[in-house]
Amino acid sequence: MKKRNPFTLFGFLLIMLLVVSACSSNTSSDDADAGNDNAEATEDNDSDKTLVFGRGSDSITLDAAIPTDGESIYVTNQIYDTLVRYETENTEVKPALATDWEVSDDNLEWTFQLRNDVTFHDGNDFTAEDVVFNFERWTTSSEFFYYGYMFGATEDNMKGIIDKVEATDDYEVKITLSEPNAPFLQTLAMPPFGIASPEAVEESGDDYFKNPVGTGPFVFEEWIPDDSITVSKNEDYFGEVAKVDQVVFRVIPDNGARFMELQAGSIDLMNGLNPQDIQTAESDEDLQIIRRPSMNVAYMALNTDKEGPMSEKLVRQAINLAIDKEQLITLYEGIGKAAVNPIPPSLWGYNDEIKDYDYDVDEAKKLLAEAGYADGFDITLYTFANPRDYMPQPKVTAQAIQEMLKEVNINVEIVENDWDSHLTATENAEHDMAFLGWTGDNGDPDNFFYVLLDKDNTKVGSAGNVAFYKSDAVHDLFKDAQMEMDQDKRTEYYMEAQEIIHDDAPWVPIAHTTPPLAGKKGITDYLPHPTGSEPFNLVEIE
């Protein structure tokens, strides 16, 4: 049942107030000068185009190299540029800060020619030395999660597979790898590898995360925590200068309240639309629905490294058997399809020969008895309060699983946290089971498999693999696939890895979605990217 929202009454009173104000306006000749002033002010406001984007959670950090959460990346994608970037509607790579590149025959040396007409938002010129600075910075701390995830950095080897980065000219950089890496170029286009101003990083120190400076299409202006972040148009942008003057990212935690604000006109665009509101938006002549291409997965990670039931493969298989996937998908109300593997079917390398676990309560009980848990056990399921594109109703989904597992004598305690706390808890392995999801960053299966399921990424405190699943066989297949440049051979490695993962059952894969966004009809040229976020410089608004 949908709860009534107090905003309904507020919206009605606001409309009535506007009507009264309009009816009581005085247009007599005595007020002619004031009327002229108001007309000029209106004209000024019309020329100042501000796009207000409503979302469910605040950013965690605005240092592009740190976040793994989509809400932070939404904003950093506006502020920073990468060496290369993705095409507008897919993950093919095109020039950005680098205009051209070449790779050696052994696939170890990558040489990039850089633009010579770029300045950072603080006025400093962009050169090859700035690229070197950023790569060296990313090797100084494990808080730069993506560097570790994508380049195999560890505490013992903070550089990972990147042997050295050299400025071979003012506008030329050579990156030398210790081993071939097939997704390397795709990885460099990911937002976490945005180039920051060295001077700004050094000047702000530990506070840089809230004082970001890049070369991107928008300049950071203000961050009011849990309320809004404002960025303004970069008039000197080397690429296509933004068509809007400002973007304001507003935090409105409740999906329904956010949609009501869109209907009232106080925001222009929103994500996290409740599936049940899609039809309402489609029938509203002032609104439009925009669908993001599917390249994501929602899953329930089973903490395989925690002493107790989750360390038993038979128990994990039983949990998969005890969950009615068809019932869970009804909670997605048409925007999701059941997941079988860790990667979406839209990616190459997907193993469509794997059959999902059937919903079979009797077989689940049999496996539990075989594992020594015929009488069941108590367990925690960690979930997040804020809806995500891959899981629009996390609380209801958790309650549904709680009821399903009760049928096989597994008593589930639901632990709900805000998004930031949920990430911290799961990275620190506090959970038995936990909801999470992933939107692909670079269009390569490696970005799902290696980040989410390789043993390299199970470090407590910064884990990307929150199932803490450690398989030597899977690790070897992932590494072979990274170093193999032939896509057909890489596909063979990934097909085999998916068979092992399916049998080991470190996850319950739940869904892949086509996330809906809603906006005013006046918004044009907004093309949501499969990776989950995009620069807003192409967006036009009436």
State how far the alpha carbon of 275 is from the alpha carbons of 82, 256, 376, 392, 513, in Å.
34, 10, 35, 8, 11
Interatomic CA distance for residues 373 and 229, integer angstroms: 50
What span, in angstroms and rounded, lies between the C-alpha atoms of 85 and 294?
19
Q: How far is residue 37's CA from residue 45's CA, in Å, rounded to a whole number?
A: 12
Any idea which of 73-77, 364-368, 392-396 has the lowest mean pLDDT?
392-396
3 state DSSP class of 140:
coil
- Residue linked to tokens 């400002």: 246
What pLDDT is attached to residue 469? 98
Q: Could you tell me if 209 and 61 are in contact, meaning their C-beta atoms sit under 8 angstroms apart? A: yes
| Residue 154, pLDDT score | 86
Intervals of CATH 3.90.76.10 along the chain: 81-196
For domain 53-60+216-293+515-541, give its CATH number from 3.90.1560.10, 3.40.190.10, 3.40.50.300, 3.40.50.2000. Answer: 3.40.190.10
Using a pLDDT cut of 90, give the percent of the chain over it: 84
Question: Nearest-CA neighbor of 193 among 89, 111, 76?
Answer: 76
Q: Write out pLDDT tens, residues 55-67.
A: 999 999 999 999 9
**Backbone angles phi and psi of 177, in degrees to 5:** -100, 155
Q: What is the distance of C-alpha 312 from the center of its chain?
A: 31
Domain with CATH 3.10.105.10 in the chain: 296-513
Positive or negative, the CA dihedral 420, 424, 430, 435 is positive
Locate 262 and state its tokens.
């869109």
Q: Which pLDDT tens digit goes with each residue over 262-277?
A: 999 999 999 989 888 9
* Single pTM value for the model: 0.80
Phi, psi of 88 (to 5 degrees): -60, -35
Residue pair 532/77 in contact by the 8 Å Cβ criterion: no
Domain 81-196: state its class.
Answer: alpha beta
Which pair of structure tokens corresponds to residue 412?
């589930």
Each residue's pLDDT tens digit, 159-195: 999 999 999 999 999 999 999 999 999 999 999 999 9
* Mean pLDDT score of the chain: 91
* Long-range pairs for 309-316: beta carbons < 8 A, 24 or more residues apart: 309/371, 309/373, 309/377, 309/379, 309/432, 310/379, 310/432, 310/433, 312/371, 312/373, 313/503, 313/504, 313/505, 314/367, 314/368, 314/370, 314/371, 315/367, 315/368, 315/371, 315/373, 316/504, 316/505, 316/506
Q: Which helix (H) or strand (E) holds 10?
A: helix 7-23
CATH of 296-513, one of 3.40.630.30, 3.30.930.10, 3.40.720.10, 3.10.105.10: 3.10.105.10
Q: Dihedral of CA 416/422/428/431: which sign?
A: positive
DSSP annotation of 114 reads: E
| Per-residue pLDDT at 22 exceeds 50 | no
Report, as an integer, the average pLDDT of 341-365.
96
162-166, 314-318, 333-337: least confident range = 333-337
Q: What pLDDT is attached to residue 47? A: 59
How far CA 299 is from CA of 132, 304, 319, in Å, comes to 37, 15, 13
User: Which stretches of 341-427 are DSSP H helices?
Assistant: 361-370, 394-406, 419-427
| CATH 3.40.190.10 residue window(s) in the chain | 53-60+216-293+515-541
- Please give the angle made by the CA atoms of 225, 230 and 235, to the nearest 5 degrees: 155
Say whether 435 sits in a helix, a strand or coil.
strand
What is the rounded distance in angstroms from the CA atom of residue 329 to the CA atom of residue 338? 6
Q: Which helix (H) or strand (E) holds 290?
A: strand 287-291
